[in-house]
A and B are shown apart, each in its own frame.
Chain A
Amino acid sequence: DTGVSQDPRHKITKRGQNVTFRCDPISEHNRLYWYRQTLGQGPEFLTYFQNEAQLEKSRLLSDRFSAERPKGSFSTLEIQRTEQGDSAMYLCASSKWLRTSTDTQYFGPGTRLTVL
Chain B
Amino acid sequence: AQKITQTQPGMFVQEKEAVTLDCTYDTSDPSYGLFWYKQPSSGEMIFLIYQGSYDQQNATEGRYSLNFQKARKSANLVISASQLGDSAMYFCAMREGAGNQFYFGTGTSLTVIP
User: How many angstroms from the CA of A105 to the CA of B100 in the assembled complex?
Assistant: 10
User: How many angstroms from the CA of A103 to the CA of B47 in the assembled complex?
Assistant: 12
Scan residues 44-64 of chain A and give those whose CB is less than 8 A from a CB of chain B.
44-45, 48, 50, 55-56, 58
A89-B104 contact given A42-B91, A102-B50, A104-B50, CB 8 Å threshold: no
Number of interface residues, chain B, beta carbon within 8 A: 23
Beta-carbon contact of B101 and A106 below 8 Å: no
Taking CB atoms, residues of chain A closer than 8 Å to B102 are 33, 43, 45, 105
Number of A-B contacts (CB under 8 A): 56
Taking CB atoms, residues of chain A closer than 8 Å to B37 are 107
Beta-carbon contact of A112 and B106 below 8 Å: no
A104-B105 contact given A42-B91, A48-B100, CB 8 Å threshold: no
Number of interface residues, chain A, beta carbon within 8 A: 26
Beta-carbon contact of B52 and A102 below 8 Å: yes
Taking CB atoms, residues of chain B closer than 8 Å to A42 are 4, 91, 93, 104-107
Taking CB atoms, residues of chain A closer than 8 Å to B91 are 42-43
Q: How far is the CB of A35 from chain B (nearest CB, A)?
A: 8
Q: How far is the CB of A38 from chain B (nearest CB, A)?
A: 11
> B42 contacts the other chain (Cβ, under 8 Å)?
yes
Q: Which A positions have Cβ atoms within 8 angstroms of B?
A: 31, 33, 40-45, 48, 50, 55-56, 58, 89, 91, 93, 102-110, 112
20 extra A-B contacts, CB within 8 A, seeds A107-B37, A109-B43? A31-B100, A40-B106, A41-B107, A42-B91, A42-B93, A42-B105, A42-B106, A43-B45, A45-B101, A45-B103, A48-B100, A56-B100, A56-B101, A58-B101, A103-B95, A104-B35, A104-B47, A104-B50, A105-B47, A107-B45
